[in-house]
Amino acid sequence: MAAVVVDAPEALAQSRFPALVSSMLVVRLHGQVVCGDAWVPPSAWISASTAPKVYQHRGAVRAVGLVLRPEAAVALFANARGLVNTVRPLPDLVGPRWPEVEQGVRAAADDRAQLDVLYQFVRQEIAPPSPCEARRQEALALLQAAHLDGDAKGQRMGLSQRQFERRFVAHWGMAPKQYKVIARLNSTLGNALSVSGGPMAALAIDEGYFDQSHMGRDVRRLAGHPLQTLVQGTRRPLTTHWPLQVGAEVQQARTPQPEEPGPTRMR
């Protein structure tokens, strides 16, 4: 979905993320980061999440990474299937090939070159006869079936409702309804920031909420703050909510969607 370059000065002590259906592949080049009681590995896959997350910085932090489409993680990493609210070291997911990739990132001359190493890694992983495409199509089929309504619910991939939900949870790590709620939140946050100042009631209806109060409850629960607080916070040049700025830029750039998006930069 996006390439991201992060240059967080020492004055920025935290990064705050909302719940997300996408995941991230990150190589940290400088500084230390803690989430909860655990140190984040220098190279990590950060999974989709069902609750807001706060990452504590230890000094200035510099990192490069890719924001992955929801279906991309399980396509790239078979052992990522069903994982949410998880940070995994990339050597554990990729295996013995990863140290060479990470070394290439760290040795690259600049941001673009570092990101190119990550792009090349993805290309190599998905190149035929890799099973990545089959896993991606399976993931997309589950997502498409999850959005069926009415009588079509009984025709989801030839499974009963209960069977389908079990398969969806095993694949995505969350129930279909929960996935759709978080995906709607991500869309809402991106649109709220990209058209800040617009009527909140209209945004709520456009995003499929019953009303503005319904939207407000979801945003507070899944992003950690009221929507207006998040919008105002991202207007500051230095903000713990910089991931929302990135998300809004990604949402604006998705049509048309380049094969290799240029990096979004947080400084």
Average pLDDT of the chain is 90
* Assigned domain for 244 exists: no
How many structural domains does the chain have?
1
pTM for the full predicted model: 0.90
* Assigned domain for 112 exists: yes
* Assigned domain for 178 exists: no
Per-residue pLDDT of 152-200, as tens digits, reads 665 678 888 899 999 999 999 999 999 999 999 999 998 898 876 678 8
> At which residue do the structure tokens 């380049």 appear?
258
Per-residue pLDDT of 30-64, as tens digits, reads 999 999 999 999 999 999 999 999 999 999 999 99
User: Across residues 7-26, what is the average pLDDT?
Assistant: 96
CATH number of the domain residue 50 falls in: 2.60.120
Which helix H or strand E contains 85, and what residues bound it? Answer: none
* Assigned domain for 105 exists: yes
- Rounded CA-CA distance 182/171 in Å is 16
> At which residue do the structure tokens 């510099």 appear?
62
The string over 145-155, giving b where at least 16 C-beta atoms fall within 10 Å of a residue's C-beta and e elsewhere, is bbeeeeeeeee
Q: What's the domain range around 122?
A: 2-131
* Assigned domain for 187 exists: no
pLDDT at 264: 61
* Assigned domain for 210 exists: no
> At which residue do the structure tokens 């009221």 appear?
226
* Assigned domain for 148 exists: no
* Assigned domain for 177 exists: no
